[in-house]
């Protein structure tokens, strides 16, 4: 099992679409190039922000191959492999081509509301199905079920290739306990841009970010300042981004970040149903906040 460091800024890549609904691979390539040039620490492909649930299996494979081919090992690549059926995830891991992939991100099973024992068994089977490092993903706002600190720690201690958790519960007490009692080498990363600084102060390694698609240099600098203990400088950047953190999620993710990336000229403002673009009023607020941020940070 390779050693994968998830410290700093991981970006949850969007999936750009053309107006005809097909994937815009040229726009994806431009975005990846920009992220690499601006110092991202790793990329997350096929996450929630990538609208993965709307992509066919063939599209998912092609996106991963495209990003792996472009990155050429410059930064680690984490790929989302999830389902609310354990057998499906295991089959994907046992039969898929993960050449060039450094780790797997897998969300707590959604919709069917498993117990904590069910969640534990789910990840135990996944861990046994692959030698790749695995990153747990706890996001109860989407899955309905919260993976407790007890369950996270049980998995982390018993499954050696489970190396980290992306924590998006917003529960600081839960986060603190995981950080205190985790095994050596196990990392906790924030799943929420808005509280990433707070979690780093508690001992988190960084964040898997949405806003990092648009501001990799500035947000990455904030994270690295915080990791170095310079909270005052990090807080200054955080304050300038606070309004955008809120605006990007008014109409859901990735509607907000796609609106911002469209205004930056990276992508078309297209999503796949049942997701739709942000409302005109939200787009205008994002535009105004972007201009203000641009003026202050000379993008």
- State how far the alpha carbon of 60 is from the alpha carbons of 18, 92, 182, in Å: 16, 12, 32
**CB-count exposure of residue 196 (10 Å: 0-12, 13-18, 19+):** buried
Query: Residues 102, 119: contact at Cβ < 8 Å?
Result: no
Marked catalytic residue, from 166, 182, 258, 285: 166
Kind plus residue range of the DSSP H or E element containing 45: strand 42-45
Those residues with Cβ within 8 angstroms of residue 36's Cβ, 6 or more apart along the chain or in another chain = 71, 74, 75
Question: Rounded CA gap, 224 and 226, in Å?
Answer: 5
Marked catalytic residue, from 137, 182, 258, 285: 137
Question: Rounded CA gap, 126 and 44, in Å?
Answer: 19
Kind plus residue range of the DSSP H or E element containing 107: strand 103-107
Query: Residues 275, 55: contact at Cβ < 8 Å?
Result: no
**CB-count exposure of residue 180 (10 Å: 0-12, 13-18, 19+):** exposed
Does the annotation mark 166 as catalytic?
A: yes
The residue assigned the tokens 């992508």 is: 267
Residues annotated as part of the active site? 137, 166
């Amino acid at each position: 099992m390779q050693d994968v460091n998830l410290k700093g800024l991981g970006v949850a890549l969007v999936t750009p679409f053309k107006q005809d609904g097909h994937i815009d691979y040229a726009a994806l390539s431009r975005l990846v190039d920009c992220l690499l040039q601006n110092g991202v620490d790793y990329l997350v492909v096929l996450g929630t922000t990538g609208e993965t649930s709307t992509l066919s299996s063939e599209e998912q494979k092609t996106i991963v191959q495209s990003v792996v081919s472009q990155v050429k090992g410059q930064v680690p690549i984490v790929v989302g492999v999830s389902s609310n059926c354990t057998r499906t995830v295991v089959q994907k891991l046992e039969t898929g081509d993960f050449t060039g992939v450094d780790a797997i991100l897998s969300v707590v099973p959604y919709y069917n509301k498993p117990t904590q024992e069910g969640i534990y068994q789910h990840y135990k089977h996944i861990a046994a199905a692959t030698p790749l490092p695995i990153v747990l993903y706890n996001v109860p706002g989407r899955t309905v079920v919260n993976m407790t600190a007890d369950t996270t720690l049980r998995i982390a201690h018993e499954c050696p290739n489970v190396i980290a958790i992306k924590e998006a519960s917003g529960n600081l007490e839960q986060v603190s306990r995981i950080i205190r009692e985790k095994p050596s080498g196990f990392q906790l990363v924030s799943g929420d841009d808005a509280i990433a600084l707070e979690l780093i102060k508690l001992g988190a390694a960084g964040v898997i970010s949405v806003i990092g698609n648009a501001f990799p240099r500035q947000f990455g600098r904030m994270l690295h300042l915080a990791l170095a203990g310079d909270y005052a400088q990090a807080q200054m950047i955080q304050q300038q981004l606070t309004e955008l953190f809120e605006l990007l999620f008014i109409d859901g993710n990735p509607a907000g970040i796609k609106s911002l990336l469209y205004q930056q000229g990276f992508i078309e403002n297209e999503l796949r149903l049942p997701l739709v673009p942000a409302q005109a009023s939200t787009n205008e607020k994002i535009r105004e906040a972007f201009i203000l941020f641009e003026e202050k940070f000379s993008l």
